[in-house]
Structure 1
Amino acid sequence: MKTSIIGFPRVGELRELKFATEKYFRKEITAEELEANGKELRKKHWQLLVDQGIDFIPSGDFSFFDTTLDTAVLLNIVPAKYQELKLSPLETYFVLARGYQGEAGDVKALAMKKWFNTNYHYMVPEIDDHTELRLVGDKIFTIFNEAKEYGITTRPTILGPFTLLKLATYHGKKRAEDFYEAAIIAYAQIFDRLADLGCEWFQIDEPALVLDLSPVEVQQFKALYQKLLTKKGSLKILAQTYFGDVRDTYQELVDLPFDGIGLDFVEGRKTLSLLEEYGFPKEKLLFAGIVNGKNIWKNNYQDTLTLLERLQSVRHIVLSTSCSLLHVPFTLANETALPKEVTNYFAFAVEKLAELNDLKKIVEDKNRNKDLLSTNSALFDQERFSRNEQVAKKVKALTKADFIRLPALTERAVIQKEKLNLPILPTTTIGSFPQTKEVKQNRAKFKKGEISEDEYTAFNKEKIAECVAFQEEIGLDVLVHGEFERNDMVEYFGESLEGYLFTEKAWVQSYGTRCVKPPIIWGDVSRSKPITVAYSKYAQTLTDKPMKGMLTGPVTILNWSFPREDISLRESTLQLALAIQEEVLDLEANGIEIIQIDEAALREKLPLRQTDWHSEYLDWAIPAFRLVHSRVQPTTQIHTHMCYSEFADIIQDIDNMDADVISFEASRSNLNILDALKAIDFQTQVGPGVYDIHSPRVPSVEEIEGTIHNILNKLPIEKVWVNPDCGLKTRGVPETEASLKNLALAAKKVRGGV
């Protein structure tokens, strides 16, 4: 019995990579120093895996920004506009991720989307008819050699050609299948070079196999690998899947001459039944994903052993994680505030390595390691979640009427237009303003007890006043208070909700250098006091213009938390919806006429297979949002916001959320969502993002004007809002102010021309 993992968190135990990369962006360290930092982290992580007894250690899972982008760059999938800048390879890499504005030119970043059903974001490869897919990089080889220098033989990993080409966007006539032959040549060259370096195993990730695939796509996958695997020589190839089961391609997958196949037994609902029905080749290794790579609860060893007993017909099993450990925090070792009786139930990335080792020992000799099993079993023999009967009764008492807002949307629109008296193309922002060093220091000092609550609040009010004055100065129509009191859009709310636990340093990478610290749902959720009312009410006193109250919606709070495992996601979400509903009604009672309830992560837990979308998710997720705002007055305008996902295929469900205004991230995806909105005659007012806030570049007035005109070519002007594509907390002050000035001016110029 051996152990393996698919990937490991790369930002470091204390976000070392994040801070080093951001220093490089600020030109505080050189490219060589950044590379040295990465090398040191890789060495540390490989040694940790060795020390924890992991037999198959991956390399290639490390990245300075995103591994999908790494694969694209390795294979020359770099559009000409980036190559024409004539920058160094590392500079070009970051330009693809962040955009560029300087002497060499002005280009936007690649589009960014959610990675399957996770909160991680990947850079979308961009391919046109002139793309020459070929092996041009050597990172995968140098890192393999780097590990060998430390005496560690790794299993290099790369995103497979089928998934890579399926996830890419295409400009021109060519499509994925037109690049298969070039991909075969490039991947075969990788095979040869790795074999020459003494590599034994090579991991090819094909997570797209867990999606709904057409018969044509299944045959394309089969034909692609029938050709490619004839060129593997002595190299052993692991086909790694995750995030679900491979019901559409299982038979093709096991029949192809892979040496190992990685299957997910955690999220793969049909994985076990597929093996039992169709069998598994005796000569192949099954990399069984039995330790959850996406949640932080400890593995139930007895349940896992029961599963493994049903796999007795499989001759060679490697114990593995269900997906990369990128999606969980690094280690519990840094959590000193939570009591032991709580942390006993948790397993972060490092602890999951220990779980694999424990399971290996128990499988090899259960009698000798019975203490490991009994200690683990004891945790699952007792109640661990706290229940609130009053909350449970409220959820149970909900009726259909609680999810319906009256009057209807069209009638409300007339009432709100008269009440708010906004111009055409009203301008606003998504909510947050830059979190400067001083803002973060103020919050840190308060948490440490170094300043009083009055001092903390006074500072925040000063920043709010500055923020409101700036927005009025540049002429925005609907203002925000800037959210200077908030650490994270989910953690901030969780801190004021009963039933939540919080970590100190349990960071998880969201994209690039952006990390989040998801709270943990430990019990039934309820609101014990108002959360946002005081600051929103104060901000409204500073202006005669409408001030948006800013809330995070129940689905996003759930999806960006580590959820319980003892009750359904539906029940947890409805608990959250009732809590946020109380906050909505308090804001309304205190004179806030526009309330934004963000559902940035609405799509995140959408099942990967379309047949399960409604029954397993949308049929309760959409009503949960409606529950939050169903009791407000017709004059109160409800906004929501969504970002960095593909929404076109659920656009009707989004319209059914019955918000009055929805803002979308659309700038990086070239406003593609507009066609979907037009196709269904989208009823809700909409604010497609007119510029990308995840890039430091400042869009010109003319650029934003052009974007607004593109929007108006497809949507009626009376339904269009003008706003950035997301919150501004991660941006610097100068670029934010310049961009918003240009946004406001562009909107005024377009208004003047209609």
Structure 2
Amino acid sequence: MKTNLLGFPRIGGNRELKKASEKYWKDQITANELIQVGNELRKENWLLQKSAGIDLIPSNDFSFYDQILDASMIFGCIPSRFHGVKRSKSDVDLYFAMAKGIQKDGFDITAMEMTKWFDTNYHYIVPEFTKNQSFELLSLKAVEEFKQASDLGIFTKPVLISPVTYLYLGKEKEEGFHRIELLDRLLPVFFELLEQLALAGAEYIQVDEPCLSLDLSDRERTAIVSLYAQLAEKFPELKIILTNYFDCYGDNLETVLQLPVYALHLDLIRCPLQLDDILESPAFTGKQLLSLGVVDGRNIWKNNYEASLDLIKKASQKVSKDKLCIASSCSLLHTPYDVDLV
């Protein structure tokens, strides 16, 4: 069975990212020096995972602030009050202005709203949408990091926030529309990004869809069906790993099992019973690989191997081993980098 990590801690063993970010905010180091710290941390993380024998090593799981803000930069979803910053300052300055606000160099702009990342202690910067919202491929971060890993001889699995989850987690800044209606405008940008990744040599793509753990409306489920149908049509060569975490698929399971994706990821720590639901469902054909999230991504304790093996054995009784993958339940972002340093 392959092994699959959904994401890796980005702060560094000695909190290098936090220290460097704070120095940058105080104008004690340059943007290039901050970027170099990020380059070194990613390199260390990839090499560590490779030495541990991980098969599906993530890229684009690194962030200087949070992954949803990264997506806003990638999709070019910049609130109008930051357009002056975009025109006159670097992308790094724009990024942190959106996260923290900016009160210097003639600017006095409030930050974007921050809210909790599901039920974790992490937060994300809430995307802001208008009725006539436009999108553009503003950042090639995901492509650049894939290439950076490739230069080390490590062919990673880029991690992308789904356009549906991205819109779902945002908010309308004016009345008269629903943000999910913007999907048709966002998809061309998302597809352009996938084209760039495919050209760079990407084979596996992890599409994070954590909104599937929530109660969705028919409109939102329809948007998900449309997204993955188009992905299968436009990118048949890419192995899409549909990734949900923090809970079961719940009432969305029937929809999910009919999606034309290469693999389904299951958070079997938060919801082990969903494995039975899937294995017993008439809609599950066994053609999709199951990524079994049996290693707790939110717990400081050692893995419960008996519980993990029970779930793996149950799956392997009904699914061939080449269609199973052992994975972390969610990104390891939520765990200590090294317990010896705690």
Find out whether 1:17 has 2:24 as its counterpart.
no
1:324 matched to which residue of 2? Answer: 331
- How far is the alpha carbon of 1:309 from its aligned partner? 1.7
1:545 matched to which residue of 2? Answer: none
Find out whether 1:30 has 2:30 as its counterpart.
yes
For 1:103, the aligned partner's letter is D
The answer to whether the Cα contact below 8 Å between 1:12 and 1:330 also exists between their aligned partners in 2 is yes
For 2:257, the aligned partner's letter is V
**How is 1:698-709 mapped onto 2 (pairs within 5 angstroms)?**
none
- How far is the alpha carbon of 1:176 from its aligned partner? 2.1
Find out whether 1:292 has 2:299 as its counterpart.
no
- How far is the alpha carbon of 1:227 from its aligned partner? 2.6
1:276 matched to which residue of 2? Answer: 279
1:242 matched to which residue of 2? Answer: 245
Question: For 1:25-82, what per-residue CA distance to the aligned partner results, in whole angstroms no more than 9, with x for missing partners?
Answer: 1111111111111101100000000011111000001001111100111001111111
Q: CA separation in 2, counterparts of 1:254 and 1:134?
A: 31
Aligned-partner SS, 1:174: coil
For 1:12, the aligned partner's letter is G
Find out whether 1:226 has 2:233 as its counterpart.
no
The answer to whether the Cα contact below 8 Å between 1:247 and 1:274 also exists between their aligned partners in 2 is no
- How far is the alpha carbon of 1:292 from its aligned partner? 0.8
- How far is the alpha carbon of 1:208 from its aligned partner? 0.6
2:319 matched to which residue of 1? Answer: 314
The answer to whether the Cα contact below 8 Å between 1:184 and 1:228 also exists between their aligned partners in 2 is no
- Counterpart of 1:93 (choices 92, 95, 99) is 95
- How far is the alpha carbon of 1:272 from its aligned partner? 1.6
2:211 matched to which residue of 1? Answer: 208
2:131 matched to which residue of 1? Answer: 129
The answer to whether the Cα contact below 8 Å between 1:75 and 1:134 also exists between their aligned partners in 2 is yes
The answer to whether the Cα contact below 8 Å between 2:168 and 2:180 also exists between their aligned partners in 1 is no
- How far is the alpha carbon of 1:177 from its aligned partner? 2.5
Q: CA separation in 2, counterparts of 1:2 and 1:8?
A: 17
Aligned-partner SS, 2:278: helix
The answer to whether the Cα contact below 8 Å between 2:164 and 2:180 also exists between their aligned partners in 1 is no
The answer to whether the Cα contact below 8 Å between 1:184 and 1:227 also exists between their aligned partners in 2 is no
Aligned-partner SS, 1:318: strand
The answer to whether the Cα contact below 8 Å between 2:75 and 2:139 also exists between their aligned partners in 1 is yes
2:143 matched to which residue of 1? Answer: 141
Stretches of 4+ moved more than 3 A in 1?
A: none
Q: CA separation in 2, counterparts of 1:289 and 1:81?
A: 41
- Counterpart of 2:117 (choices 112, 115, 118) is 115
Q: CA separation in 1, counterparts of 2:295 and 2:130?
A: 40
Find out whether 1:182 has 2:185 as its counterpart.
yes
The answer to whether the Cα contact below 8 Å between 1:2 and 1:318 also exists between their aligned partners in 2 is yes
Question: For 1:219-254, what per-residue CA distance to the aligned partner results, in whole angstroms no more than 9, with x for missing partners?
Answer: 232123223332123111111110000022222222
Aligned-partner SS, 1:286: strand
- How far is the alpha carbon of 1:90 from its aligned partner? 0.7
The answer to whether the Cα contact below 8 Å between 1:158 and 1:204 also exists between their aligned partners in 2 is yes
- Whose relative contact order is higher, 1 or 2, with alpha carbons under 8 Å and at least 6 apart? 2
The answer to whether the Cα contact below 8 Å between 2:180 and 2:220 also exists between their aligned partners in 1 is no
**How is 1:601-750 mapped onto 2 (pairs within 5 angstroms)?**
none
The answer to whether the Cα contact below 8 Å between 2:140 and 2:193 also exists between their aligned partners in 1 is no
For 2:336, the aligned partner's letter is P
**How is 1:535-550 mapped onto 2 (pairs within 5 angstroms)?**
none
Q: What is the percent sequence identity of the aligned residues?
A: 38
TM-score scaled to structure 2, two decimals?
0.94
1:106 matched to which residue of 2? Answer: 108
- How far is the alpha carbon of 1:269 from its aligned partner? 4.9
The answer to whether the Cα contact below 8 Å between 1:76 and 1:135 also exists between their aligned partners in 2 is yes
The answer to whether the Cα contact below 8 Å between 2:133 and 2:182 also exists between their aligned partners in 1 is no
Aligned-partner SS, 2:251: coil
- How far is the alpha carbon of 1:195 from its aligned partner? 0.9
1:304 matched to which residue of 2? Answer: 308
Q: CA separation in 2, counterparts of 1:300 and 1:270?
A: 17
2:61 matched to which residue of 1? Answer: 61
For 2:102, the aligned partner's letter is Y
The answer to whether the Cα contact below 8 Å between 1:218 and 1:248 also exists between their aligned partners in 2 is no
The answer to whether the Cα contact below 8 Å between 1:79 and 1:131 also exists between their aligned partners in 2 is no
1:80 matched to which residue of 2? Answer: 80
Q: CA separation in 2, counterparts of 1:270 and 1:245?
A: 8
- How far is the alpha carbon of 1:216 from its aligned partner? 3.2
Q: CA separation in 1, counterparts of 2:5 and 2:302?
A: 16
1:154 matched to which residue of 2? Answer: 156
The answer to whether the Cα contact below 8 Å between 2:289 and 2:324 also exists between their aligned partners in 1 is yes
- How far is the alpha carbon of 1:91 from its aligned partner? 0.2
Q: CA separation in 2, counterparts of 1:242 and 1:250?
A: 13
Q: CA separation in 2, counterparts of 1:278 and 1:229?
A: 23
Question: For 1:656-675, what per-residue CA distance to the aligned partner results, in whole angstroms no more than 9, with x for missing partners?
Answer: xxxxxxxxxxxxxxxxxxxx
Aligned residues: 335
Question: For 1:474-511, what per-residue CA distance to the aligned partner results, in whole angstroms no more than 9, with x for missing partners?
Answer: xxxxxxxxxxxxxxxxxxxxxxxxxxxxxxx33xxxxx
For 2:109, the aligned partner's letter is V
Aligned-partner SS, 2:69: helix
The answer to whether the Cα contact below 8 Å between 2:263 and 2:290 also exists between their aligned partners in 1 is yes
- How far is the alpha carbon of 1:217 from its aligned partner? 2.3
- How far is the alpha carbon of 1:190 from its aligned partner? 1.6
**How is 1:474-623 mapped onto 2 (pairs within 5 angstroms)?**
505-506=341-342
The answer to whether the Cα contact below 8 Å between 1:243 and 1:323 also exists between their aligned partners in 2 is yes
Q: Which has the larger radius of gyration?
A: 1
The answer to whether the Cα contact below 8 Å between 1:133 and 1:179 also exists between their aligned partners in 2 is no
TM-score scaled to structure 1, two decimals?
0.44
- How far is the alpha carbon of 1:294 from its aligned partner? 0.7
- How far is the alpha carbon of 1:135 from its aligned partner? 1.8
Aligned-partner SS, 1:102: coil
- How far is the alpha carbon of 1:24 from its aligned partner? 0.9
Aligned-partner SS, 2:294: strand
For 1:314, the aligned partner's letter is V
The answer to whether the Cα contact below 8 Å between 2:171 and 2:179 also exists between their aligned partners in 1 is no
Q: CA separation in 1, counterparts of 2:273 and 2:69?
A: 31
The answer to whether the Cα contact below 8 Å between 1:247 and 1:270 also exists between their aligned partners in 2 is no
Instruction: Report the CA distance shift for 1:174/1:84 in structure 2 as closer, same or farther (over 3 A).
Output: farther
Q: CA separation in 1, counterparts of 2:166 and 2:251?
A: 18
Question: For 1:417-442, what per-residue CA distance to the aligned partner results, in whole angstroms no more than 9, with x for missing partners?
Answer: xxxxxxxxxxxxxxxxxxxxxxxxxx
Aligned-partner SS, 2:250: coil
Aligned-partner SS, 1:309: helix
Instruction: Report the CA distance shift for 1:183/1:274 in structure 2 as closer, same or farther (over 3 A).
Output: farther
Q: CA separation in 2, counterparts of 1:230 and 1:190?
A: 16
RMSD, aligned α-carbons = 1.4
1:191 matched to which residue of 2? Answer: 194
Aligned-partner SS, 2:29: coil
Q: CA separation in 1, counterparts of 2:186 and 2:257?
A: 22
Q: CA separation in 1, counterparts of 2:106 and 2:200?
A: 38
For 2:81, the aligned partner's letter is K
Q: CA separation in 1, counterparts of 2:272 and 2:250?
A: 10
For 2:256, the aligned partner's letter is L
- How far is the alpha carbon of 1:283 from its aligned partner? 2.6
Question: For 1:488-546, what per-residue CA distance to the aligned partner results, in whole angstroms no more than 9, with x for missing partners?
Answer: xxxxxxxxxxxxxxxxx33xxxxxxxxxxxxxxxxxxxxxxxxxxxxxxxxxxxxxxxx
Q: CA separation in 1, counterparts of 2:208 and 2:143?
A: 17
For 1:321, the aligned partner's letter is S
